[in-house]
Structure 1
Amino acid sequence: MTTPPGPVPLAPPGPPRHPLDPDPKRSTKARAVFALGLIGALTGLFLGGVVPATTALLLARQARLEAYASGGFLTGAAWLRRGERLAWTGLTLAAVSVVVALVIAVVRLAQAPFGQDFAPNVD
């Protein structure tokens, strides 16, 4: 089967937009979610990432509701997903560091002498 020479026909454009429709625009909350998620992931091991990561997750929910209500005129879903993943990574790292600190504390407590330690010449 061969194709005829000449330009390839394009798909017909979708229905024309109404002149009063706003232009699609990236959500500023999506950018903020990504930035807060990145900060949360970078500082998650030091427990400083809990606050920005939690804020990112709360802001992501608001951004997702606004994007749904806008009917497709607010974009930035990819940035939103990346920010949420980074925020969850930051929270996971913070939880891991808390568990490691607890294990270290329990091991050190178990190695410490229990009770009062008297001198060898005391009965």
Structure 2
Amino acid sequence: MTTVPGQVPVVPQGHRHPLDPEPVRSTKARAVFALGLIGALTGFFVGGVVPATIALTLARQARREAYVSGGFLTGAGWLRRGEQLAWTGLLLAAVAIVVALVIGLVRLAGAPFGHDFAPNVD
């Protein structure tokens, strides 16, 4: 129902029970985002594995709590971005480990194997 052309339609709001709590952002959602960001920033240095793993564990708990709360815990966007950053940190750590292994194997392959004796030794 609109009253004036160009005006936003008025949508009647449902009545809430007076004892219903106010919707609040989950504190775990903020923690997941912060830990995911730390994990992504330090992921290539392999130090981001720990905060990224904690972020993914907290995200699972926060999603469960948000489901049980029936919509009174918000912060799904923060959770989603935090999880993406945590997975990015884990991916960067895995890339760093693979690169280090490849460099180590190439150097090992180029090194002489066994003892390098002088030419006059039989």
What is the TM-score with the length of structure 2 in the denominator? 0.93
Distance 2:52 2:7 in 1: 49
Distance 1:30 1:74 in 2: 10
Matches within 5 A, 1:30-109: 30-109=29-108
1:120 deviation in Å? 1.3
Distance 1:96 1:71, change over 3 A: same
Distance 1:108 1:33, change over 3 A: same
Letter of the structure 2 residue corresponding to residue 61 of structure 1: R
1:5 deviation in Å? 5.2
Are 2:117 and 1:121 aligned? Answer: no
Aligned Cα root-mean-square deviation (Å): 1.8
Letter of the structure 1 residue corresponding to residue 45 of structure 2: F
Identity %, equivalent residues: 76
Gaps in structure 2 of 5+ consecutive residues = none
Distance 1:61 1:81 in 2: 11
The total of aligned residue pairs comes to: 121
Distance 1:5 1:60, change over 3 A: closer
Distance 1:47 1:75 in 2: 32
1:6 deviation in Å? 6.3
Please name the residue that 1:110 is paired with. Answer: 109
Gaps in structure 1 of 5+ consecutive residues = none
Please name the residue that 2:14 is paired with. Answer: 15
Distance 1:89 1:7, change over 3 A: closer
Distance 1:56 1:11, change over 3 A: same
